A and B are shown apart, each in its own frame.
Chain A
């Protein structure tokens, strides 16, 4: 496939607005990723496309910026003892398989129902997964905040699964638990499939690690960075093979996002366990609203409903705006709790 496509793709000219926009979105996305293990990517692809970057180049460049960011974040959080490399690598490999499966499903849907059908499928998955998982995580975070306990509600299932001795057993050092590989694989596959569909596998990966495997949200979000690195590297090699990566865009986004990812990782050492769940759930639910607003456009294109074009235009704009808002709210909660905790520590004479 490479060759002819490389010749026809158009790379955009950079101007000050483009550079500042990408740098800022990179920073905020990085901040959120460093904190909850994923996120940010879902704004970057539509963001780049709104600047005139062709869809495939936007997806490829986004993928290419994701893995160095995840690498830097994972190294930083490894220093804090939050990462389980073995767990991350094993899950990363299976997630990569999940990505391939996700792409195949996407292709099948594209062939059967066309572009609008594919978009509709992506949006429906977005809304379904984010509402279900997001509300579960939010309920758990609220409960933990109220009761001030360190363990979430999902640990019951995880504990039962850990009891099952099914070869091969994996020992997760960072969380000090043993679990069968057979329970890791479905979580990893689902993470990969979601990553291939909506570009943010972490929305399944992190809750999966927390509620099915039974690691704390801090270890889960840190280990997700390793999974994202493996998936991102694999994806980037494929996209780069077809010559789709715009290295300039990648480097501008990285310039901002590495600042963010460091700060996000530092933030995790200041907050309580429920805070990560809280920020994650908040972002997931707001993004779900955003994607819900995008649904009428695709339903219209498939002639399933009839909404006038002006209305659709407004809703599409609102959808993108709300998506940016989700990221901004997440980033401000992280920054606020980081600086509040630092103030408290300073007052206590620790910093």
Chain B
């Protein structure tokens, strides 16, 4: 449900003479680059990237702010979000005006994937999507019919680079975007739960041992307990190493996924189609 659909049309850009090959096929329908954020303020490098590309390709920008928690703390949070959105929009408008790029702005609420799916199937012709930090690539890519690019800056903020979406690197993107803080929080939470579980078992070890070693149907007790341990302690240890900064290799994580082999081609299925044989 659109909260606000304020079209800020600053200047209608005409495709330059050099952009003839990439200009939209139907000149009456401008092509858009969707710049997507779930934060009040869109990152500056996302705006910059979108404006640069739009200028070069002769496209317009569709800036979309998605409020993913519309029902959470309805009054204050929504007000702050709207204020931040306004500020961010004004900044983008300024940047775009300077480069003579058209900008349209939308404030949406709901799930990012749903919003993307809806907008891509609306009247506007969206060529590709650039996403801001905090949005999971998979969520957008799943419901988007057009390519999705995250825009990330190097840690020191000197350079920005775009990464195209490569499939089958499960977990790699999620990890590279998640912050250490989240792991510390998880670590504390699951650490506490694990300690509680261990404390309970060892504090009442006499009772526990009596029932757990009874056998028969009581066999499920130790099995359930170790499943609980693997969930709590497993999450704790995972967050623990991540919080310490020991994570999977970013360089080789993609390589670890099975190399493309042509093995399936080497085992052709037998051709069972009927054939006509003619004896001349």
Residues of A within 8 A of B (CB): 2-3, 5-6, 9, 11, 64-65, 67-69, 71-72, 75-76, 78-82, 150, 159, 162-163, 165, 171, 174-178, 214-216, 218-219, 233, 236-237, 240-248, 250-251, 254-255, 258-259, 261-263, 266, 268-270, 341-342, 345, 348, 350-351
Of the candidates A81, A242, A262, the one whose C-beta lies within 8 Å of that of B168 is A81
Give Cα A233 to B248, complex, Å.
28
Residues of B within 8 Å of A247, CB to CB, are 201, 208-209, 212, 221-222, 225-226
Which of B135-170 touch A at CB < 8 Å?
Answer: 168-170
B32 CB-CB contact with A under 8 Å: no
Contact indicator A162/B256 (Cβ below 8 Å) = no
Q: Mark B166-191, 1 if CB is under 8 A from A, else 0.
A: 00111100000000000000000000
Give Cα A14 to B234, complex, Å.
24
Contact indicator A159/B256 (Cβ below 8 Å) = no
The binding surface of chain B is classed by DSSP as helix
Contact indicator A236/B215 (Cβ below 8 Å) = no
Residues of A within 8 Å of B168, CB to CB, are 81
CB distance from B33 to the nearest CB of A (A): 29
CB distance from A131 to the nearest CB of B (A): 30
Q: 21 A-B residue contacts at CB 8 Å?
A: A3-B215, A11-B213, A81-B170, A165-B270, A176-B261, A176-B263, A178-B267, A236-B222, A237-B219, A243-B216, A245-B212, A245-B213, A246-B213, A254-B226, A254-B233, A259-B240, A261-B237, A262-B238, A269-B249, A269-B253, A342-B249
B264 CB-CB contact with A under 8 Å: yes
Contact indicator B238/A216 (Cβ below 8 Å) = no
* Known contacts A178-B267, A216-B258; A262 and B237 CB within 8 A of each other: yes
* Known contacts A165-B270, A176-B263; A71 and B213 CB within 8 A of each other: no
Which of B204-244 touch A at CB < 8 Å?
Answer: 205, 208-209, 212-216, 218-223, 225-227, 229-230, 233-234, 236-238, 240-241
B250 CB-CB contact with A under 8 Å: yes
Give Cα A91 to B269, complex, Å.
24
Contact indicator A176/B264 (Cβ below 8 Å) = yes
Number of A-B contacts (CB under 8 A): 178
Contact indicator B198/A351 (Cβ below 8 Å) = no
Of the candidates A11, A236, A259, the one whose C-beta lies within 8 Å of that of B237 is A259
Of the candidates A78, A171, A258, A341, the one whose C-beta lies within 8 Å of that of B249 is A341
Give Cα A351 to B229, complex, Å.
31
Contact indicator A240/B269 (Cβ below 8 Å) = no
CB distance from B261 to the nearest CB of A (A): 5
Contact indicator B264/A80 (Cβ below 8 Å) = no
| A255 (CB) vs chain B CBs: closest residue | B233
Contact indicator B223/A236 (Cβ below 8 Å) = yes
CB distance from B214 to the nearest CB of A (A): 6
Of the candidates A159, A176, A250, A342, the one whose C-beta lies within 8 Å of that of B226 is A250
With contacts A81-B257, A176-B260 known, what are 20 further pairs, Cβ within 8 A? A64-B222, A65-B226, A68-B226, A162-B266, A165-B267, A165-B270, A176-B258, A216-B258, A236-B222, A245-B222, A247-B226, A250-B226, A251-B198, A254-B229, A255-B198, A259-B240, A262-B240, A342-B246, A351-B245, A351-B250
Residues of A within 8 Å of B229, CB to CB, are 68, 251, 254, 258
The 7 closest A-B pairs by CB, nearest first: A243-B215, A2-B215, A240-B219, A68-B230, A79-B171, A72-B234, A269-B248
Residues of B within 8 A of A (CB): 168-171, 198, 201-202, 205, 208-209, 212-216, 218-223, 225-227, 229-230, 233-234, 236-238, 240-241, 245-253, 256-261, 263-264, 266-267, 269-270
Contact indicator A237/B237 (Cβ below 8 Å) = no
Residues of A within 8 Å of B170, CB to CB, are 78-81
CB distance from B207 to the nearest CB of A (A): 12
CB distance from A33 to the nearest CB of B (A): 13
Contact indicator B230/A72 (Cβ below 8 Å) = yes
Residues of B within 8 Å of A255, CB to CB, are 198, 233
Residues of A within 8 Å of B267, CB to CB, are 162-163, 165, 178
* Known contacts A79-B171, A247-B225; A254 and B258 CB within 8 A of each other: no
Contact indicator A240/B257 (Cβ below 8 Å) = no
Give Cα A69 to B246, complex, Å.
19
| B198 (CB) vs chain A CBs: closest residue | A251
CB distance from A141 to the nearest CB of B (A): 17
Residues of A within 8 Å of B249, CB to CB, are 269-270, 341-342, 345
Contact indicator B215/A350 (Cβ below 8 Å) = no
Contact indicator B256/A241 (Cβ below 8 Å) = no
Name which of A11, A76, A159, A240 has the most chain B CB atoms within 10 A of its CB.
Answer: A240
| A250 (CB) vs chain B CBs: closest residue | B226
CB distance from B159 to the nearest CB of A (A): 11
